[in-house]
Structure 1
């Protein structure tokens, strides 16, 4: 089979499992670092793997614009091209195209848009998205959908969901059933429980190897997102992996796992690293702040990443961040991905031990303490 899912344990709605692909196993709950243009910024593939990541995400929209999906295919596919040998999930390109606003026109056929890079005109449809993802050679592809920004009226959300389901059927037909690659359907419906249920039923009828909860983390806020996650994951098949797209902050990730999500991705840990922010068990630390300039302590005691275990002090990190030295973003990205990897491992252990609720209380209590007092 192109993909397997072994559900090993549950604790409430939280799930412990393994997603099997042709290129390896993904331990769930899993966080997927984002390699937008085929690389996780500031990191080598082996370093990304060392943070605990089993799978990375590639971006169809960016890769189709440069270097071009056909070129990647000629050079052996995205795995060989990027040097990442493990599983890769590619998004459909739909989210990026929909976010272009004035640069795109949506019809039933697909989306015509102008490149943000050079203004050249392009067309993306369910069929073309499947073709591009096949050329890239990703292990998990996403069906092409529309993702309207929230808040939006019910009629707009319903019409968008209906078109996304028609596009999902076209994506499935174009993708086919290759033996070594899987296709995930994407549930839409905004914040409306009945629309989410209808979307899930339509996706079940089409049939996918996995299912995503889409259309969240687009401006609705955490409370509204959790409100949807209180019912949306359970509307999807229990014997398939569930992927929440574009999430998120550590407390978003924990809340999603608590509600039955298996896989997540977000640019936050890498983008934060490049802007001088480090995520720790006590919350986010802004290394640009002057309070760190004389601090000899590591960013986070006990963290095994090179930024913390390699002898680099908060004072040094503050200096290189403020000086805009490349090593600052590299070290903080490495730390942040390590933090996320440790967070996912801790949740897997807690679910397996049947103590997720206790672990979650401790997670929130530690964050409430805030950062270390200045020296």
Structure 2
């Protein structure tokens, strides 16, 4: 189920208008896919940053701000015009490897500037068509897309964009602060980064991969059984295949098999313990993942189910707090941009919203 964003404005009409504007903003940026991107990036890297940008006519309005930071007085816009302007707000989740937040020296919670560096593919072929490139680049060397190195600097009062080391664009930041919302996955005191869901599982996953690789190697080397015949005459030249019958008058004759993949209880126990440790570290129990293994028991009430899923539920509720606050900050920054552009005027109280997450377990 999707999340629900509700305005806390006093008037019913204002609440409906604000909710429709915020819905238009998120729909223009992918809707549910945008929220999933936030969750995935945050779970992998421990945090996710979201840059709030403007484009089109909305960016032009903000560029024409007066000296006191307000937009010139313009005729009131229609509802459709306001929704179109809201759709020109871009929400860009940032991958952690390309981000460099510049924090205040005395307070890691305050951001002085934000820098990101990445390589961007252009919609034109690479113009590097020298003889050496064609010789060593293969038949497709002349049709490669051009790649540029982009460095973007966001500060409280201005922003700049560099392409291959050259200044490509710059402008004034109308908000008066870095237009970025920082969302930690699971906050840790004293650090800008949050706690990743993946990083703590890497050593255990490496150990599990090693043990499974050892098992696969042993199965490969010992997958063929061999047979030792005792007391049978003429066995050296007879083929061994399904359906073969041997007869003998020797009551002490035997055929023994050896080799193959013999049982290894200690190895099975070690692999099971590693997997159980991964479940505990991740907080995702096998029951949550759909693997019951006769561990569910006789659960006939919602309270019993909650006790079984307690670890996963507590982790989910903690994430709802952090991601919910991040979504609130994105909505406030969006409404502030529309207010400064004189598109949709709001005061501070009207920018407060509530983010309602669906319940992980339906009440019985």
| TM-score scaled by length of structure 1 | 0.25
CA radius of gyration, larger in: 2
Structure with greater helix share of residues: 1
| TM-score scaled by length of structure 2 | 0.25
